[in-house]
Amino acid sequence: MPPQISVVQALILGLIQGLTEFLPVSSTGHMRVIPAFLGWPDPGAGMSAILQLGPIVAIIWFFREDLLRYIAGIQRSFKKGVMLPKDDSDARLGWYVIIGTVPLVLAALVLEKKVDTIFRSLDVVAWSLIVLAIVLLVVDVMSKRTRKVEDVTLADTIFIGVAQVLALIPGASRSGCTITAGLLRGLDREAAARFSFLLSIPAITLAGLYKLLKAVKAHELHGVVVPSVIGAVVAGVVAYVVIKWFLKFLGEENHTTLPFIIWRIALGVIILICLHTGRLTPDAGMPADAPAPPAQPSSILVVPLPQYTAAR
């Protein structure tokens, strides 16, 4: 049976999904952690799939003009018989978006079972949040940031596409991984975010539709459609605002990714503390019938903290 989620819970989950889907803070990590903190049941595959439809519509609508140009460019490349014409940036970017998605699709098919079990352990989420935050910090400080989206090459696309595979680990963040990779390749912050968003369109669309199809086949939508649709509308509206704001934010030279780095580290540390003190367990909030993570992942991933006894 699907979990019983109220409209209020759906609204909050939709808000979280919309806020985090396109920021480098990991939407899957937040959607895994927040219900666990609040003691809510896992939203379930059906609700998660419907909620994700909101951001999918938002990103397609935001980039609708670009997408139409890229589609037209791909059509021109077929007529010319040249896949990546040097004199047609729209055709090249259209193909790059497709090519950059291939590594993620292949990896998702191979790692699907681990993504749904081991990778969802809260200690994995915590360390993913922290480690990628540190990597992003170093890269953001050291990167040259001299290139625009129009300067993206096939080598850049493959590099960023492979980095996107790390997003299969909740806490890593799809946009965080691709923005970091873009910065490593010399793109400026806005260009890295824009290309990351373009890559997200086929990635999250395919993932969302795949999860929705699986949920329908497994009859996991019973009783959750109405709250899920409400949550999806909230997620879509919020995601659209976030996309517009984030690109403008990174377009300012004095704006960096530091606020998101701080948030990631703070959240990761809070999760580790909660795991260490017993406030949370690695599988907290996961469906009762879901395969459990390894028996003691914390012994590997959670750094022991010193124990103190209060003075009497």
- What is the DSSP secondary-structure string of 63-82? THHHHHHHHHHHHHHHHHT-
Q: How far is CA 130 from the centre of its chain?
A: 15
- Please give the C-alpha separations between residue 51 and each of 179, 201, 212, 310, in angstroms, as whole numbers: 24, 15, 10, 45
All residues at 6 or more sequence positions from 137 whose CB lies less than 8 Å from its CB, including other chains:
257, 258, 261
Residues 6+ apart with CB under 8 A from 303: 272
H/E element, 190:
helix 189-217
Instruction: Choose among 200, 223, 258, 210: nearest CA to 58.
Output: 200
Residues in a beta bridge with 147 = 187
The three-state secondary structure class of 270 is helix
Q: H or E segment at 184?
A: helix 174-184
Listed residue (97, 56, 104) closest to 73, CA to CA: 97
**Mean pLDDT by 10-residue block, N- to C-terminus, for the chain (312 residues)?**
77 95 94 89 80 95 96 94 89 96 92 75 93 96 93 96 93 95 96 96 90 83 85 97 97 93 97 93 68 45 42 38
219: exposed, middle or buried (Cβ count in 10 Å: 0-12, 13-18, 19+):
exposed
Distance CA 54, CA 33 (A): 20
Q: How far apart are CA 68 and CA 291, in angstroms?
A: 42
Residues 6+ apart with CB under 8 A from 124: 118, 169, 170, 171, 282, 293, 297, 301
Cβ-based burial of 87 (10 A; exposed 0-12, middle 13-18, buried ≥19): exposed
Predicted local confidence at residue 302, as pLDDT: 43
Helix axes 189-217, 225-251, angle to 10 degrees: 170
Q: What is the pTM of this model?
A: 0.87
pLDDT at 40: 85
